[in-house]
Amino acid sequence: MASAFRRPFASWLIWMRREWRDLVPITIGTIVVSVSYMAFLLPNRFPASGLNGLAVLSTYVWEWSPAWIVGVGNALLLTLAWKALSPGFVLKTVYAVGLMTVLLKVFQGMPYPHLEERLLVALLAGVLNGIGGGLVFRYGGSLGGTDILVMVLRDRFGIEVGTYSFLLSSSVFVVALPVVGLANVIYGGVVLYVTGLAIDAVLRSFDRRSQVILITAIPTQVAEFVMKELHRGVTRIPGVGAYTGQERPILLCYLNARQVVELRRYLLEHDPRSFMALSEAAEVRGRGFKSWKGL
């Protein structure tokens, strides 16, 4: 009987050792979100979105600890999601949700700074939620709630993720209106909006790369510079100038900000008549960039 319990526990420890590089930032993000809920949302009676919003409302109405709703609700949703979503995503979400359930209980009743300006509180809560949630999303997990439900519905029925996620999340605000009042619902909307902006900013800051499209008279030398000095790969695409009719290969590569500056300097010195177009790539996966592992 004891061995039956030891086997899953040992497997869980092996998985945690293998994924520790992702679990460390997920842990930090979960701590940040938990502090935001207990230090700013609950004391100011701001509503939250999704399942966490229901947990917050249960505290306002029945004085239940939000840990119970977060833990039980996500357990049911994760059971639903186990076969529909990737095991890596589900396991990391289980870890984040379990940790958040414990932290909400641990942080309950702890003293926090009191701020008179409630708009400042809403902005601060949104930024903290976004930074914490962005770290969890960036490393392959989630904090559960309606995100799980929407992803399951997307995989099964092909629904629009953004639209349904917004509808499910914001519907809690309608329920919260008679409980917390219109002013607090508006502040909760500010928190939700700022959270979305902060999550996007966190995700972009980790994955931001510049897509470089380059036409130059010395393509071989430039490609050698990118590969040997900048240590990046280059794709050479055949091209023909529509006006001149001359064959001129197009170079395509992905660089970070520092490498773009170095490439500009090289071109200024060796081919100031070259043509370079830059655009931001939201995500780059492959050798030398983000790994495909864990998707």
Domains of the chain and CATH, by start? 2-206 (no CATH), 208-281 (3.30.70.120)
Which phi and psi angles does 92 have, rounded to 5°? -70, -35
Closest C-alpha to 189, from 47, 77, 50: 47
Q: Is the pLDDT of residue 8 over 70?
A: no
How confident is residue 207, by pLDDT bands cut at 50, 70 and 90?
low
Query: CB within 8 A of 279, min separation 6: which ones?
Result: 210, 211, 213
Q: Please state, rounded to an integer, the average pLDDT across all residues of the chain.
A: 82
* Greater pLDDT, 259 or 78: 259
Please report the pLDDT score of residue 151 as a whole number: 65
Please report the pLDDT score of residue 199 as a whole number: 83
Rounded-to-integer distance, Cα 41 and Cα 125, Å:
7
* Greater pLDDT, 157 or 66: 66
pTM of the entire structure?
0.71
Q: Is the pLDDT of residue 279 over 80?
A: yes
